[in-house]
Amino acid sequence: MSARSNLRVAVPKGTIFEDALRALEGAGLSVGVLREDGRKLFYESPGTEFIVGRPSDVPVYVEYGAADVGIAGKDVLEEQEPNVVELKDLGTGGCRMILAAPADKAAGVRQAIGHAEVVRVATKYPRTARRYFEGMGRQAEIIELRGSIELAPLVGLADCIVDLTATGTTLRENDLVVLDEISTSTARLIANRGAYRLRNREVAALVDAMEKSVSPLG
Amino acid sequence: MKQRMPRKFATTPGTRDVLPPESTRLFDVQARIRERFRLFGYGEVFTPALEYSEVIEEPKLRDASFKLFDPDNQMVMLRPEMTTPIARLVAQRLKNFPPPHKLSYVLPVYRRASVGRGQSAELYQAGVEVVGSPSPQEDAATIALLVDVLNALDLEAPGDFAVVLGHIAFYEAYLRHVAPEAATALLAALAAKDLVRVDVLAGGLPDEIATGVRGIPRLVGPATEGGVLEEAARLAAGAPEASMALENLREILRHLDAHGCLGTVILDLGLTGRHNYYTGAVFEAYAAGLGFTIANGGRYDNLLKRFGQDLPATGFAVYLERLLSVLPEEGASTLLVLVGGGLGGTKAATALRKRGVPTLHLPEDLEPHAAARYASAVDAGWVCYPTPEGVKLAASTPDARFEAVGIEDAAERVLGRAPQGVRR
């Protein structure tokens, strides 16, 4: 790998893509190219290069230095614990990490957890789920799934789920109720450890510019 | 019938066999580093790969280490780093010798690697430890040695690398002074490199304190410009222990200037170092284009107490595999493949070796095409056939032409084209 002259930014596709673009645009980066052709994975614009990747891959690009900075949800950062510098809360993409169970079994699950019985939890976030249960001194059998977590308790694969929710619509549609809120999450600007120091002028300027254009929820 | 290779004939995850030319480069780099360490007066040691589990205290390193049991049924670890074993060695073996002890090592360390993260379980390190001196001059001298090592490997600052220097006692002393209740949480957030959390925690403090609590860890800039230190002094004014730490940092910078390597240093007052045992100046070296540190180190004044000796210390370790990945390419190999020729060939090989040419002599009379293929397989830069007057010599490149030259001439060409160095 050789040194780059332009700052390289990793942008997550999916639900926080537009918010991420707005934050970068507000900071003065020319993100127009990313809106033109939705199928490309790598874009160049004057002064900046962009990588578009899965939200959970953004921290990997940044940790390994394939991108200098990136935008990632706090939920992803808590799950992966990448060795990156967390610079700024963008305040967008707000969502909650929750523990939920089917409405008709909620009381039973609550009781089981209360009595330190082993409950079965389906989740896309195994480390977050494990930390949550260990933190309470409770035991859980964690089943990692890649999608449609809501299905697991309905078909008897798990007693409850640990998942991310923004509006709660999917939970309601599947008749799941929230038992506990584990954490809240917003989008963060992250930087590679080397890039943060070697290109500090550019990175700090980006943080400052975002500071002026976005107002975090607090 | 197709035979299936048993899975356990591979190497375990994170480990690998290292072959030429990579192994040659690794040995060349090690030799070059040893030379620099000796020039600065360090004595090289090696310690057992196995240590009692109690020796290593850092939770992260304990978690990452391979554990097994010795014949007394005691838990032992494959050393996950070298600083602690050397601290143990100094406390046990050098009790009656006058400090400071200047020791170096070039050894592999072992850490359990996560699958799919591109990590190695066996990492080659080269490093030094200076045990028994609290002087900031030693902090500067170890950093200067690190810069010297990188320079000796043809890396030049600021284009190729930078040393990032921080001081963990500064921010810690400042916090203990202005916000003692929040200090622990703030230091934990900073250790996790979570500046957002630092901001949030600072939000709960009075405004004039919050400015410093937020601002200090974000102070980053070249050491040649005074801005970072001035701003730090302004923010931490009125916290006496923080001022002492800052003065310590200034003294280190003055000595780095005297070493002529201030230009390689970037100050970062948010840098905490990766281990809990650090107590003062900490530093990491980054290479342009590589997302990881190529070296790290710092002052650890309390580690030796655990082993019964109260000695202040500082040192660093270089990650050799990462370093290799950023070294500039050098010219073709000086290895010469001498093909066949019977007794005449043997005489020519002896004559070439006498003149310092690394010569691989093949007894088989290979055709030029096969000889070139062999030369490229062993990473040789040259091929030759013996003649009564000398050799027929060619570079081992496709369609290179053979030229009849005398032995003396051949030696000059082979050695002249590629000076001794680290090859890629």
Q: Min CA distance, A197 vs chain B (Å)?
A: 7
A7-94+186-213 folds as D-Maltodextrin-Binding Protein; domain 2 (3.40.190)
- Contacting residues of B for A194, CB less than 8 Å apart: 286-287, 290-293
Condensed to tens digits (0 to 9), the pLDDT of residues A132-175 reads 999 999 989 999 999 899 999 999 999 999 999 988 888 999 99
State pLDDT tens for residues B250-264: 999 999 999 999 999
Cα–Cα distance between A114 and B259 in angstroms, integer?
64
CB contact under 8 A, A86 and B290: no
Judgement on whether residues B296 and B346 belong to the same structural domain of the protein:
no
| Whether residue B313 sits in one domain with residue B406 | no
Q: From CA A43, how far away is CA B149, in angstroms rounded?
A: 38
Residue B182 belongs to a domain: yes
Single-letter amino acid code for the residue at A201? R
Report the pLDDT value the prediction gives residue B382, as an integer from 0 to 100.
94
To 10 degrees, the CA torsion angle through B20, B21, B23, B28?
A: 140
Whether residue B13 is contained in a domain is answered as no
Same domain, B205 and B299: yes
A86, A188, A197: residue with CB nearest B286? A197
Task: Return phi, psi of residue B343, to 5°.
Answer: -65, -40
* Contact call for B193 and A194, based on CB within 8 A: no
- Please report whether residue B8 resides in a domain: no
Question: What's the CATH number where B365 sits?
Answer: 3.40.50.800
A7-94+186-213 and A95-183, same CATH topology: yes
| Contact: B291, A204; criterion CB under 8 Å | no
Which chain B residues contact residue A188 at CB under 8 A? 196
Contacts of B292 in chain A (CB under 8 A): 64-65, 193-194
Could you tell me if B228 and B83 lie in one domain? yes
Q: What is the mean pLDDT of residues A22-46?
A: 88
Among A88, A185, A193, the residue to mutate for chain B (most B Cβ within 10 A): A193
CATH number at residue B159: 3.30.930.10
The secondary structure element, H or E, covering residue B416 is: helix B407-417
Q: Please tell me whether residue B33 adopts helix, strand or coil conformation.
A: helix
Looking at B269, B291, B326, which one is the last position of a domain? B326
Q: What is the mean pLDDT of chain A?
A: 91
Q: CA of A217: which chain B residue's CA is closest?
A: B200
For residues B388 and B348, give the distance between their C-alpha atoms in angstroms, rounded to a whole number: 9
Question: B266 touching A, CB under 8 A?
Answer: yes
* Measured distance CA(B216)–CA(A87) in Å, rounded: 14
CB nearest B290 (choices: A62, A83, A194): A194
Which residues of chain B lie closer than 8 angstroms to A86, CB-CB? 192-197
Q: Do A188 and B196 touch (CB under 8 A)?
A: yes
Residue ending a domain, among B282, B307, B326, is: B326
pLDDT for A214 equals 58
Determine the pLDDT at residue A168: 87
Structure confidence at residue B280 (pLDDT): 96
- pLDDT attached to residue A215: 54
- Contact flag A2-B289 (C-beta cutoff 8 Å): yes
From the CA of B278, how many Å to the nearest CA of chain A? 19
CB contact under 8 A, B193 and A200: no
B164 to chain A: closest CA residue:
A197
Please say whether the beta carbons of A179 and A160 come within 8 A: yes
Do B213 and B231 fall within a single domain? yes
Chosen from A79, A198, A207 to mutate, greatest number of chain B CBs within 10 A = A198
Which amino acid, one-letter code, is at B137? Q
Containing domain of residue B374, as a range?
336-417
**Rounded mean pLDDT, A90-117:** 92
* Number of domains composing chain B: 2
Task: Looking at the structure, tell me whether residues B204 and B309 fall in a common domain.
Answer: yes
Q: Indicate the pTM of the whole model.
A: 0.90
Residue in chain B nearest A207 by alpha carbon: B218
Chain A residue closest to B293 (CA)?
A194
Say if the Cβ atoms of B199 and A188 lie within 8 Å. no
Does B422 map to a domain?
no
Residue ranges of chain B with per-residue pLDDT less than 70 = 1-2, 115-116, 331, 417-424
Which chain A residue's Cα is nearest to B194? A86
Q: Are residues B281 and B353 in the same domain?
A: no
**Residue-range domain boundaries for chain A:** 7-94+186-213, 95-183
Contacts for B65 with CB less than 8 Å, ≥ 6 apart: B56, B77, B78, B79, B80, B110, B111, B112
Cross-chain Cβ contact B195/A87 below 8 Å: yes
Is there a domain that residue B306 lies in? Answer: yes
Same domain, B143 and B209: yes
**Interface touch A65/B289, C-beta < 8 Å:** yes
Chain A residues with CB-CB distance to B287 below 8 A: 194
Interchain CB distance below 8 Å, B162 and A192: no
Do residue B194 and residue A195 have CB atoms under 8 angstroms apart?
no
What is the distance between the alpha carbons of residues B229 and B247, in angstroms, rounded to a whole number? 10
Q: Is B250 left (phi over 0), alpha (psi -120 to 50) or beta?
A: alpha
- pLDDT for B2: 64
| pLDDT of amino acid B420 | 41
**Roughly how many angstroms between the first and final C-alpha of chain A, as a whole number?**
38
Question: Are residues B391 and B307 part of one domain?
Answer: no
Fold of A95-183: D-Maltodextrin-Binding Protein; domain 2 (3.40.190)
Q: What is the pLDDT of residue B424?
A: 39
**CB of B414 within 8 A of CB of B353?**
no
Q: Are B150 and B285 in contact (CB under 8 A)?
A: yes
Question: Which of B114, B283, B286 is the mutation pick for testing A, counting most A CBs within 10 A?
Answer: B286
B54 and A CB contact within 8 Å? no
Mutate to test the interface with A, among B163, B165, B196 (most CBs of A within 10 A): B196
Residues B55 and B152 occupy one common structural domain: yes
Asked if ipTM goes beyond 0.90, one says no
Asked if B195 and A85 come within 8 Å (Cβ–Cβ), the reply is yes
Q: Which of A66, A88, A193 is the closest to B196 by Cβ?
A: A88
| Residue of chain A nearest B286, judged by CA positions | A194
> pLDDT digit string (tens) for A51-88?
999 999 999 999 999 999 999 999 999 999 999 999 99
Same domain, residue pair B312 and B354: no
The pair of three-digit structure tokens given for residue B148, joined into one six-digit string: 């010297």
The neighbouring-strand residues paired with B166 are B282
Select from B283, B304, B326 the last residue of a domain.
B326
- Give me the torsion for CA of B56, B57, B63, B68, rounded to 10°: 40
Q: Which residue of A has its CA nearest to B117?
A: A60
Tokens of B313: 């210390």
Establish if B110 belongs to a structural domain. Answer: yes
Yes or no, beta carbons of B197 and A86 under 8 Å apart:
yes
List the single residue in B196, B220, B291 with the smallest CB-CB distance to A65. B291
Closest Cβ opposite residue B290 in set A65, A84, A200:
A65
One domain, residues B142 and B209: yes
Tell whether B118 is within 8 A of chain A (Cβ): yes
Hey, are the CB atoms on A200 and B293 less than 8 Å from each other?
A: no
